[in-house]
Amino acid sequence: MRVVDVDWRSLVVVFAAFIVLVALRGLAHSIPRTLTALAIATILALALNPVVEAAERRLGCRRAAALAVVTLGVTVIVVLLALLLVPPAVREGRDLGAQLPRVVKDLGRLPLVGDDLVKNDVPAKVQRWVEKLPDRLNGNTAPLKRAGRSLADGVLAATVTLLLAITLLLDGQRLVRAVRRLVPGRYRRRADRAGGLAYQVVGRYVAGSLLVAGVAGVAVLIVGLALGVPLTPLAAAWVALWDLVPQIGGAAGGVPFVLLAITKGAGTGLIALLFFLVYLQIENHILQPLLVGHAVKLSPPATMTAALIGVSAAGVVGALVAVPLVGASKAVYLELRRPR
């Protein structure tokens, strides 16, 4: 028999190549999440950068110290909001579970579709499904495990996004200077002007979007509390978050609010629906063009097209980034067309 001697260095090379392939596969799989976190972190950094600069000027300290002060302030605000919203939401969630049988019975009283629901025995089917739900959850823990994994992934993604935003706020100016050195000297002044315009457009867009989202959340909070809608604080926060998505976010954010209002009765649900439809008209035709459209200088059809393309390309994050990106590109293009 012929003995084949395999060099140990060959085994090391094969093992190292296997590890590299596995790492590249994992990197390729995580690229969409990484790009999503980077996009959200960039928007967050652009929104907080004026606040950090103002704190730096007022306190007369270095940027790192000003960033620490701003981060601490934002953390305190988030914790206070959680303390104000979570306990009432938990209590109202328990009450909502006790009200489910009454809500199911009221399905037949809904206008326009109530009779059809009764004819098709929908209330009874929903009632049976609700009664069997605890047994299904006890026998199958897969949904709970998936929910737990989704929650853990969300917390991890939020942490990574926050760290990226802090990194951009700390080293953003250094990165800008490094990119500026790559531009030829004769084009540097125009590049500075174009970059400044893009930053102004994106900054105004973020500020306007946050203001419009805050108005939407406050409006839903006031109306929800007046109507006695359960989980109103969480519904208002949900509406404010979805309102950051241009054009299509308002409708997606209002659906849970209307469904929660239906649990108080068909009349309450109808009032909530009418309110939200009227508010969407006011926001889309007055607030958005005044605060956001003026910032990016885009027409409503162009904004809608950019948002739809962004959603098709990268989901919700694509819709968030597409509109300010198109507005900044337009401003830079018009600047470059100007004579020197």
Q: How many CA atoms lie within 13 A of 125 on its CB side?
A: 7
Please give the Cα distance from 48 to 206 (Å, whole number).
10
**To which residue do tokens 């162009």 refer?**
302
Measured distance CA(34)–CA(254) in Å, rounded: 29
What phi-psi label fits residue 339: left (phi over 0), alpha (psi between -120 and 50 degrees) or beta?
beta
Cβ neighbourhood burial of 300 (10 Å; 0-12, 13-18, 19+): middle
Q: How confident is the model at residue 110 (pLDDT cuts 50, 70, 90)?
A: low
Residue 250 pLDDT > 70: yes
User: Averaged over 272-287, what is the pLDDT?
Assistant: 86
Q: What is the pLDDT of residue 174?
A: 82
pLDDT number for residue 30 = 58
Residue the block writes with tokens 């006790």: 98
SS3 readout for 91-133: HHHHHHHHHHHHHHHHHHHCCCCHHHHHHCCHHHHHHHHHHHH
Element containing residue 221 per DSSP (H, E) = helix 188-227
How many whole angstroms separate alpha carbon 223 and alpha carbon 340?
A: 54
3-state SS assignment for residue 9: helix
Name which of 176, 151, 177, 279 is nearest 222 in CA terms: 279
Among candidates 233, 229, 238, which has minimal Cα distance to 264?
229
Q: What are the extents of the domains in the chain?
A: 32-182, 189-340
In the numeric block, which tokens belong to residue 124? 């009874």
Q: When comparing pLDDT for 132 and 243, which is higher?
A: 243
Is residue 4 scored above 70 in pLDDT?
no
pLDDT score at 194: 81
Q: Which two tokens stand for residue 323?
A: 């509109």
- What band does 109 get if pLDDT is binned at 50, 70 and 90? low
A 10 A CB-CB count for 156 gives 12
Tell me the CA distances in angstroms from 337 to 173, 188, 189, 325, one per residue in order.
27, 16, 14, 18
- For residue 198, the model assigns a pLDDT of 81
pLDDT band at 114 (very low <50, low <70, confident <90, very high): low
Residue 184 falls in which region: left (phi positive, over 0), alpha (psi -120 to 50) or beta: beta
Per-residue pLDDT at 136 exceeds 60: no
Is 60 exceeded by the pLDDT of residue 168?
yes
207-236 per-position pLDDT tens digit? 788 888 888 888 998 998 888 887 788 888
Q: Is the pTM higher than 0.85?
A: no
Question: Where residue 247 falls among pLDDT bands split at 50, 70, 90?
Answer: low
Q: What is the pLDDT of residue 135?
A: 59
Average pLDDT, the chain: 76
Asked whether the predicted pLDDT for residue 307 surpasses 80, the reply is no
| pLDDT mean over 28-56 | 76
- Tokens for 200, please give them: 């102004």
Quickly state the pLDDT bin for 120 (edges 50, 70, 90).
Answer: low
> Which of the four pLDDT bands, split at 50, 70 and 90, describes residue 10?
low
Decide if 207 contacts 248 (C-beta within 8 A): no
d(CA 251, CA 245): 10
DSSP string, 127-155: HHHHHHHHHHHHH--HHHHHHHHHHHHHH
Instruction: Tell me the residue type at 47.
Output: A
